[in-house]
Amino acid sequence: MENLTDFARTGLIILENIKKARQEKGLRVEDAALKSGIDCGQLEKLESGDLAFLPPPYVIALLRKYALALGTYDETLFKELKESTDIPVTKAPRKRGSQAQKSAKRTGNGARNIYASITAIIVIAAATLWMIFARPYQPAPPMEATLPNVSKLPAAYTSLTSSLTPPAPAEPAASAPPASAEPDKTTPPAGGEEPAASLSKSEQEHSSATKVQKGCFTLSIDRAAMKPGKVLTSLTPSSSAVYYFSDITMPSGEPIWHEWLLNGTAVDTISVGTPTGKRWRCWSRKSTGNRKKGDWSVRVVQGEREEIHSDSITVAMPPAEGE
């Protein structure tokens, strides 16, 4: 197959995400087989990375079933996997009759809506005219009827003239000193923050850009706290695997990937999910193969392979005793 290499690469990325989810859920291969309904022997071949034991369409179907069972189905990856097999996707022909019926139905609904709107306008206009012209005339009560009965009012309101006259301003006490005027004090914003209006347009755009607040290599991940373990500055030849952790703020909402490179050559691309908020913490794991020397690098990319961060780590021999 001409695109077998692309098929195997995308399939292994999907398989790595599924295996990661299975390990996080604490499921054995036998448990995953029962949960997904896939034969245990076929599941073991998939997990071993053998994607050629069945024709590609069957392998795609098994991977899709496995991913849906563990909740890791990624439509973008599966679309790439299908395209890499060169299997044409046939589309069902449109039924002209049903389209015509739908069009006629929409036209009929539109006409009914117009008639209903016209009827409602006519009814509202008729009701308004009736309220204006058909309502019986009621003369206004005489002015004296609106005045209160003075004999029934409290003592404070017995004089209508006095109630309408504003009271005279009170004289200030002679013993009270004049109050000193203090300047208007403006409370600064909490936390020393400046108003948003003071930021320039370029600063506002920069503050909303995707940024990796922290990226590091580590040998463990605290999954409950979503934090890396001890940060590594170098790897020893005895390290068989290493994690890379990313803490990303203001992601664009597009899928994010970790591209692993060994001595500048890309060896793997691992999907770390599609962000849904203003902060996204993620990690990927890579087997280093007990190498005695070499440089590992990780490029953090989003969307159409836009690089937003990168880090490197060197495999180095530990210092001899006494050095």
In the predicted model, is pLDDT for residue 159 greater than 50? no
Rg (CA), the chain: 38
Residue 179 pLDDT level (bands cut at 50, 70, 90):
very low
Q: How many domains does the chain have?
A: 2
pLDDT category, 204, cuts 50, 70, 90? Answer: very low
For residue 24, the enclosing domain spans 4-83
Q: Is residue 212 part of a domain?
A: yes
How high does pLDDT run on average in the chain?
76
Where are the alpha helices (H) located in 27-173, listed in sequence order? 29-36, 40-47, 56-70, 75-83, 96-129, 160-164
Of 34, 52, 83, which closes a domain?
83
Domain assignment present for 148: no
Q: Confidence band (pLDDT; 50, 70, 90) for 281?
A: very high
The answer to the question of residue 92 being in a domain is no
**C-alpha to C-alpha distance for 285 and 258, rounded to whole angstroms:** 10
Q: Which two tokens stand for residue 148?
A: 């209160």
- Mean of the pLDDT values across residues 112-119? 90
Q: Assess if residue 73 is contained within a domain.
A: yes
Please tell me the predicted confidence (pLDDT) of residue 232.
93
CATH number at residue 264: 2.60.40.1930
Q: Looking at the predicted structure, is the pLDDT value of residue 161 above 90? A: no
* Residue 138: band (very low, low, confident or very high) from pLDDT cuts 50, 70, 90: low
Q: What percent of the chain has pLDDT over 70?
A: 68
Of 38, 67, 83, the position where a domain reaches its end is 83
Amino acid 87: pLDDT:
63
pLDDT band at 94 (very low <50, low <70, confident <90, very high): low
Task: Give the pLDDT mean for 96-107.
Answer: 67
Lowest model confidence (mean pLDDT) among 73-82, 196-205, 294-303: 196-205
Q: What is the pLDDT of residues 213-246, one digit of tens each?
A: 999 999 999 999 999 999 999 988 888 899 999 9
Residue 153 lies in a domain: no
What CATH number is given to the structural domain containing 16? 1.10.260.40
Mean pLDDT of 206-212: 72
pLDDT at residue number 45 = 84
Backbone φ/ψ region at 127: left (φ over 0), alpha (ψ -120 to 50), beta: alpha
Which segment of 72-86, 162-176, 276-290 scores lowest on mean pLDDT? 162-176
Strand partners, 81: none
Question: Using 50, 70 and 90 to split pLDDT, how confident is the model at 142?
Answer: low
Last residue of a domain, one of 83, 109, 128: 83
Q: Which pLDDT does position 108 carry in this prediction?
A: 75
- Residue 1 confidence (pLDDT) above 60: no
| pLDDT exceeds 90 at position 54 | no
Residues 257-266 have a mean pLDDT of: 94
pLDDT beyond 80 at 173: no
C-alpha distances (whole Å) from 167 to each of 114, 160, 162, 209 are 63, 14, 9, 63
| More reliable by pLDDT, 87 or 156 | 87
Predicted pLDDT at 82: 86
Q: Which two tokens stand for residue 291?
A: 């190498």
Q: How far is CA 193 from CA 184, 199, 264, in A?
A: 20, 11, 43
Q: What is the pLDDT of residue 44?
A: 86
Cβ neighbour number for residue 188 with a 10 Å cutoff: 9
Coil, strand or helix: which one is 294? Answer: strand
Could you tell me if residue 160 is inside a domain? no
pLDDT beyond 70 at 152:
no
Residue 150 lies in a domain: no
Q: pLDDT at residue 27 above 80?
A: yes
pLDDT for position 31? 86
How does residue 208 score in pLDDT terms, banded at 50, 70 and 90? low
Q: What's residue 193's pLDDT?
A: 42
82 or 100, higher pLDDT: 82
The answer to whether residue 140 sits within a structural domain is: no
